[in-house]
Amino acid sequence: MTYERTYDYLAERLKPHLADDELEEVRLAYELAEAAHEGQMRDEGTPYIVHPVRVAVTLVDELEIYSPRLVSSALLHDVIEDSPVTRQQIAELFGDEVAKIVWLLTKYDDVSLPAYLNAIEAAPDAGVAIVKLCDRLDNLRFLAHSPRAEKKRRYIHTTEAFYLPMAARTNKYLFDEISRWLQEARNHVKAVNH
């Protein structure tokens, strides 16, 4: 696993599949995400922007999904949650569809996790669930690097209880990958506790 998935890497992977205006949309999404997450760091000590880029790369490299709408949504998935950027601003820049997907992917404190995931699964566009599962998969892949033991336990529990069943209903590849990385996370927590 590499941390350094850059926008340039993503753009190169997309070039054969997208028209110039679609690539431009993805570039704008990346630039907005980079600006929105500026100065933010991940638990594993990397700049926050590497996470949404990795989520987008997972869509492209592992699932062969080249939709500019979904790739842009993957890049923007934490923007509303983590910055002053609004759904309205995203709609003005990227259209209502991307804004709706990013809105659905935004977890508010007053919404329970089951209600949040049910809304994602109920969305008529199955791509929303795919992006959410790619997000969870990326978080699981790097969970061992988090210094927070409580976070690790919570991630393992919520993945087992909610995300794994969702993956089973959504995409076999993501189900298999999440299962594998969930086991890695369990093993890591066990090893650390012994």
Tens place of pLDDT for every residue, the chain, 194 residues?
455 678 999 999 999 999 999 999 999 999 999 999 999 999 888 899 999 999 999 999 999 999 999 999 999 999 999 999 999 999 999 999 999 999 999 999 999 999 999 999 999 887 999 999 999 999 999 998 888 888 899 999 999 999 999 999 999 999 999 999 999 999 988 888 76
125 is catalytic: no
Instruction: Name the active-site residue from 34, 81, 125, 184.
Output: 81
Q: Is 60 exposed, middle or buried (0-12, 13-18, 19+ CB in 10 A)?
A: buried
81 is catalytic: yes
> pLDDT value at position 124?
83
The CB-side HSE value for 159 (13 A sphere, CA atoms) comes to: 29
pTM: 0.95
Domains delineated in the chain: 7-193 (1.10.3210.10)
Instruction: Name the active-site residue from 44, 82, 97, 184.
Output: 82
The dihedral built from the CA positions of residue 16, 21, 24 and 29, taken in this order, carries a sign that is: negative
Q: Write the DSSP assignment of 82-105 as a string of letters.
A: HSS--HHHHHHHH-HHHHHHHHHT
